[in-house]
Structure 1
Amino acid sequence: MRITGCQTLHCDAGWRNFSFLKLLTDDGLVGISEYNESYGSKGLTAVIEALVDAITGDDPCRHELISQKLYAMTRQAHGGLNQQAIAAIENAMLDIKAKSLNVPVYDLLGGAVRTELPLYWSHCGTYRMSEENSKAMGRPHFTKLDDLVELGAEVRERGFKALKTNIFLFDEDPNRHFPGFARGPGWPELNADKRLVDALRAQLTAFREGAGPDMGILLDLNFNFKTEGYLQICRGLDDLGLFWFEIDLYDPEALRHIRNSVQTPIASCESLFGLRGFKPFLDNYSMDVAIVDVPWNGIWTSLKIAAMCEAHETNCAPHNFYGHISSLMSAHFCAAIPNFRIMEIDIDDVPWKDEIVTNPPIIENGVLHVPSTPGWGSELNEKVIAAHPPK
């Protein structure tokens, strides 16, 4: 079996696009993967297509050889778009190999340690804080703390045991606080203040009121502060008994300093690439939970990262706020690793999300059931994708 080329597909998903790679072979088997250009990765499609040209004629079942070849070709500009492109190709190759053997992808990773994955409802309330996003989802637009109480109750009633939220400000113009992405005030200084601590305490208290005392509540602080700001926020909320603070920092020693300064667990590393990217954070014991992005790293590479984490007594959680193919890719990763913590998933989304794939993930009472059918366990519905062209 040989690679003959690829196709890329793109679908409108409201405030972003979903993108998919179809890796083609000479015997008719097609491997699929999901990638994303909407969050700092514009131009990724062109990189994927260029790298597929470089491996046309190669055997996709020898995926380790091909991934190493592509890394060697791009190592002078490693990470970033190049690594995301390699990951998209790697993920599609694993899908091909699993289909050729008539097994689920997790069988290629050593078999399933588990087939039921506890989930947390990610971006809980975040998309509803935007009037435009709320319209795209057909959900109510949030403007007051009582809305969070109601949402917390909804999360609990639907059987979820954990939720993750971002920073909301209910002032004259209720909105999200994302200065780390150059959205709104606070950039580029990225300072924290008592007003933010008080707003977050009110926000988290509202979620707790609705969700109940047993709900795990995770707070994602993203890239929105520097070390001093993260310390101010985390120390100011450390008494709330949160599931974790999620922090994005590229300095492993600074992250370790924060971890040592609070009692609440720290989760991080979702924006890192490969073994070499994770190594200094593990060497410094910078985080309690390592977050691994399967679409960015590739599932075979992610398995290696999880093994490194296991050697450092650190559990892993996937970074998964994309479409259903990504969720299935992350689910196979979570099924196969021993050191699994919890899986992220977006529940609020566009109404046509389920229709994009032939078999959406099965979720019952906050648990995802990992499919046992060949490959990822689902295919793309290209008619639906074509009916929702990217913006």
Structure 2
Amino acid sequence: MKITQAESVHADGGYRTCSFLKLSTDEGLAGWSEYYDSFSGARIDPLIQDFARHAIGMDPRQFGRVSETLLATTRLAAGGLAQQAVAAIENACLDIAGKAAGLPVHTLLGGPLRDRVPVYWTHCGSYRVGPREPFYTGELGYPPIRKMDDLTAVAREAVTRGFRAVKTNPVFFDRDKPYFFSGGFRIAPGFLDRSITERQLAQIEEQMAAYREAVGPDIGLMLDVSFSQRTEGYLRMAHRLEHLDLAWLEVDINDPDALGFIRRNCRTPIASLESLHGIAEYRPFLQGQTVDTCIVDPMWNGVWQSARIAAFADAHETTFAPHNPVGELGTLMSLHLSAAVPNLRIMELRVDEAPWTRDYLTHPPEIEDGHMRVPERPGWGTEMNEEELRARPPRTR
């Protein structure tokens, strides 16, 4: 079997564009993967096509060989967008390999170790604030977020729907309209200095105390602050929130020594590393015992490569959680990975997606009592509804 063609397909995702890769073969089987195009403001479509030229003619069932071969060509400029482009190809190869063998992808990874995977509602309430608000309130008809109780109402809804854990981001209410914090990785006021004021710290503490009251003492509560701070700011935040018994504080920082210092000097569990690419980048962070939970993005690293990183984390007695902020197919990809790794903590799930994106899959994932059942169908466990995909082209933005 040989890869013959790589085609990127984009579709309307409401506030975003959904991006998929379709790999075709000379035996008629096609494999699909979901990826983030323009997540960092730069397109990876051209990179996917560049790497696909090397992959054409290779056997997709040898997904490890395909992945390692393509990554070897990036050694002088490893990681980053190049790794994300290779990951899209690797993940589509996994889908083909599973379909060709009549097996779900998790079996190719040695699993499943569990038949249900716990999930948490990510960006719970916070993503309904800011530039996405017109989509949520206008198109989907969600109630607007105007005060703290509106925000925590989403958390209460999550508990009612059976979720056992929620994650949010800082939302500030000191202007005419509430606004989402700056994560430190997109151009915005303060994104270069990455510092926090005492007033902002107090507002974050108030928000998380309100969330804790809304969900109760037995629900996992996480806060994600991305790259928004330097070492000192993260430590101040972790100390202020210790009394709220967070499941984790999610931070990003590129220095393993700094991250290890933060973890050793606070009682709040630390989750991090979602922005890393490849096992070599994870090595100093895991060897340095810098995190309680190692977060890995299977769209950016590839599901097979992510399973290798999860095993490395397991060897360092560290739990694993996939970074999975968008996409129904991406959720299935994370689900197969989560089913096959022994050190899984919990899986991320963005609930607030455009409802029609489920129609892009013949068998979208299903949530039941805060868990997702692991698919047993071959490949990712779904086919793509190409007619529906192509009938909903991306919006002009």
Q: 2:260, 2:289 within 8 Å by CA — same for their partners in 1? A: yes
Q: 2:106, 2:112 within 8 Å by CA — same for their partners in 1? A: yes
Within a 5 Å distance, the mapping from 1:167-186 to structure 2 comes to 167-172=170-175, 173-186=177-190
Q: Distance in 2 between matches of 1:136 and 1:257?
A: 45
2:313 equivalent among 287, 309, 312: 309
Q: Distance in 2 between matches of 1:60 and 1:329?
A: 17
Identify the residue that residue 114 of structure 1 maps to in structure 2.
Answer: 114
Question: Aligned with 1:352: secondary structure?
Answer: helix
Within a 5 Å distance, the mapping from 1:82-97 to structure 2 comes to 82-97=82-97
Q: Distance in 2 between matches of 1:62 and 1:265?
A: 38
Identify the residue that residue 199 of structure 1 maps to in structure 2.
Answer: 203
Task: Give how far 1:11 is off.
Answer: 1.4
Task: Give how far 1:162 is off.
Answer: 0.3
Question: Aligned with 1:76: secondary structure?
Answer: helix
Identify the residue that residue 72 of structure 2 maps to in structure 1.
Answer: 72
Identify the residue that residue 381 of structure 2 maps to in structure 1.
Answer: 377
Q: Distance in 1 between matches of 2:108 and 2:186?
A: 41
Within a 5 Å distance, the mapping from 1:314-333 to structure 2 comes to 314-333=318-337
Does residue 300 in structure 1 map to residue 304 in structure 2?
A: yes
Task: Give how far 1:96 is off.
Answer: 0.4
1:367 equivalent among 350, 368, 371: 371
Task: Give how far 1:365 is off.
Answer: 1.1
Task: Give how far 1:164 is off.
Answer: 0.2
Question: Aligned with 1:360: secondary structure?
Answer: coil
Identify the residue that residue 132 of structure 1 maps to in structure 2.
Answer: 134
Task: Give how far 1:138 is off.
Answer: 2.9
Q: Distance in 2 between matches of 1:35 and 1:19?
A: 6
- Residue type of the partner of 2:289? Y
1:148 equivalent among 147, 151, 161: 151
Q: TM-score, normalised by structure 2?
A: 0.96
- Residue type of the partner of 1:383? E
Task: Give how far 1:210 is off.
Answer: 2.0
1:248 equivalent among 248, 252, 260: 252
Task: Give how far 1:86 is off.
Answer: 0.9
Q: 2:183, 2:226 within 8 Å by CA — same for their partners in 1? A: no
RMSD: 1.3
Q: Distance in 1 between matches of 2:187 and 2:128?
A: 17
Query: Cα distance 1:179–1:246, how it changes in 2: closer, same or farther (>3 A)?
Result: closer
Within a 5 Å distance, the mapping from 1:193-232 to structure 2 comes to 193-232=197-236
Task: Give how far 1:136 is off.
Answer: 4.2
- Which runs of 5 or more structure 1 residues have no equivalent in the other structure? none
Count of aligned pairs between the two proteins: 391
- Residue type of the partner of 2:270? I
Question: Aligned with 1:95: secondary structure?
Answer: helix
Q: 1:182, 1:188 within 8 Å by CA — same for their partners in 2? A: no
Does residue 338 in structure 1 map to residue 351 in structure 2?
A: no
Identify the residue that residue 55 of structure 1 maps to in structure 2.
Answer: 55
What percent identity do the matched residue pairs reach?
46
Q: Distance in 2 between matches of 1:43 and 1:301?
A: 22
Q: Distance in 2 between matches of 1:181 and 1:174?
A: 20
- Which runs of 5 or more structure 2 residues have no equivalent in the other structure? none
